[in-house]
Structure formats: C-alpha cells, structure tokens
Amino acid sequence: MALTDNYMLWTWALFLMLIATGLYFYRSRWLPLISNMIPEHTYRRLNPSFESDIEAGLSSDDFNLSGNLAAGDSRGGLDLASKKEVLRIMKGQRVNFDEARRIFMEQKLLKNGIAADGRPMDPRAVFFS
C-alpha cells in the first residue's frame, strides 16, 4: 500500500509542476484577465493632485508634471478615469508610462472611429491632397 501512495504522490507532484510551467509560459495571456478583475476600490487611493500623479508614476520626460507642480497649478491633477485606465495598461501589459499613454490614446481614437495615424476610418470620408 505504501508503494502506491508513493506513486500517487509523485504523480501529483509531476502534474502540479506541469501546470505551473504551463501557467508560467502562458502568463502573458492569462495575467491581463486577472488584472481586469481588480476591484475599483483599489484605485480610490489615487488622490486628485499632480503630486500624487507623479508619485503614482504618471509622469515622464515627455509628459512632465513637475512643471505644473512647481507653477502651483490649482487644478486637481489628471482625469481620474484616464489615470485608472493608464495604470491598468501599465500593470497588465508591463509597459512604461509613455507606452501606456500611447496605447490608451490609440484605443480612445479607435473607439471614436479614428485610425492611429489620425485619419478617419469612415469609408465615406473624402481626402483632398
């Protein structure tokens, strides 16, 4: 009886190792699905100020918020819905802020029927050169 228990233990160990290896190699497919399940209340910590936006990593050399902070800008920081989406893209696709901002803008343009190069995607559009 002890011999069959030993085989069962090794069978389960091998099975779990195969599953873990498969999950590791295909993590780029299933990890974004899990990050979409993060509840909205986790983003409530995003304070509406430029200082908290910089601390959250929503600033770069190309999109510098320190100038707004130094000038004493009285606005409440970046748009909360856009911040949430950019942070979700940064975490889900593991990209930096500039790349996430580019992806966000392309998605937003695509929703409005505009291609990434700025041309309308409407087949009825007429262009003059």
pLDDT in tens, 95-112: 988 899 899 999 998 888
Q: Which residue has the higher pLDDT, 8 or 116?
A: 8
- The stretch 83-98 carries a mean pLDDT of 87
CA angle, residues 50, 95, 92, in degrees to nearest 5: 95
Delimit the domains of the chain by residue range. 1-26
What would the two tokens of residue 93 be? 């696709």
**Confidence band for 1, pLDDT divided at 50, 70 and 90:** low
In the three-class reduction of DSSP (H, G, I as helix; E, B as strand; rest coil), residue 114 is classed as strand
What CA–CA distance (Å, rounded) separates 103 from 88?
11
What would the two tokens of residue 42 be? 């986790």
- As a whole number, the mean pLDDT across the chain is 80
What would the two tokens of residue 4 be? 């069959």
Name 128's Cβ contacts closer than 8 Å, sequence gap at least 6.
Answer: none
CA angle, residues 68, 112, 129, in degrees to nearest 5: 95
Is the model's pLDDT at 41 over the cut of 60? no
CA angle, residues 109, 113, 115, in degrees to nearest 5: 60
